[in-house]
């Protein structure tokens, strides 16, 4: 689990690839104050493959990192979360658009949305907000590499992200997703919980 300093003496925590058994137990190490104001759980891996090609190894890897890693990251942080704290879970528009070849990845991201709603209800009494952030097509090195490796495969290049058209006519940028996460983590969204905020250029709504 890695951390970056944020406002209000908080840390942003990210699930690490080993799920529960890797570095989640180190959550308290940097938190000398014994208090945590913000958790951003951002985990996303997945092998491309249609139903007939899904392997148990690929399934276990995606569910362990994307779902298990998120669950136990937030669970480990829970005793440190203060009243007014914010938890932001990263989902994906793949969970909504039925992209061929991304079934397992999309399923894990749909589960993240469900967790955000459930945890928002569970933690409301403590004054802790939980929201989901759902990016759409975003230009990233990973997507560029996938399209370069399989230039003739239309399903793969489409699933890579930025090739998917949006009403705004372009892919998003990582800093636009980060700015939205910062908004959900900040006091500017203090009356928002259990919500899903789309950062996708209108692709899933229009």
**Which residues are catalytic, by number?**
105
Percent helix, strand and coil across the chain, each rounded to 5?
Answer: 45, 20, 35
Tokens of 98: 């039925």
Q: Find the DSSP H helices in the chain.
A: 56-62, 69-77, 94-97, 103-123, 141-149, 154-159, 174-185
CA distance 119 to 36: 17
CA distance 100 to 37: 38
CA distance 30 to 47: 33
The pair phi, psi for residue 134, each rounded to 5°, is: -120, 100
């Amino acid at each position: 689990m890695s951390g970056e300093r944020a406002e209000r003496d908080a840390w942003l925590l990210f699930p690490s690839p080993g799920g529960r058994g890797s570095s989640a137990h180190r959550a308290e190490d940097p938190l000398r104050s014994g208090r945590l104001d913000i958790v951003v759980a951002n985990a996303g891996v997945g092998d491309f493959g249609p139903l007939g090609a899904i392997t148990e190894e690929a399934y276990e890897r995606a569910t362990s990192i994307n779902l298990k890693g998120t669950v136990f990251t937030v669970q480990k942080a829970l005793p440190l979360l203060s009243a007014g704290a914010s938890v932001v879970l990263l989902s994906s528009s793949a969970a909504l658009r039925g992209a061929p070849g991304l079934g397992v990845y999309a399923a894990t991201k749909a589960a993240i949305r469900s967790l955000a709603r459930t945890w928002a209800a569970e933690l409301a009494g403590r004054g802790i907000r939980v929201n989901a952030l759902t990016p759409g097509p975003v230009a990233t090195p990973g997507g560029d590499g996938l399209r370069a490796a399989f230039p003739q495969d239309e399903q793969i290049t489409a699933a890579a992200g930025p090739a998917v058209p949006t009403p705004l006519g372009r892919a998003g940028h990582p800093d636009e997703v980060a700015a939205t996460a910062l908004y959900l983590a900040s006091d500017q969204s203090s009356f928002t919980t259990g919500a899903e905020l789309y950062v996708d250029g209108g692709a899933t709504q229009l």
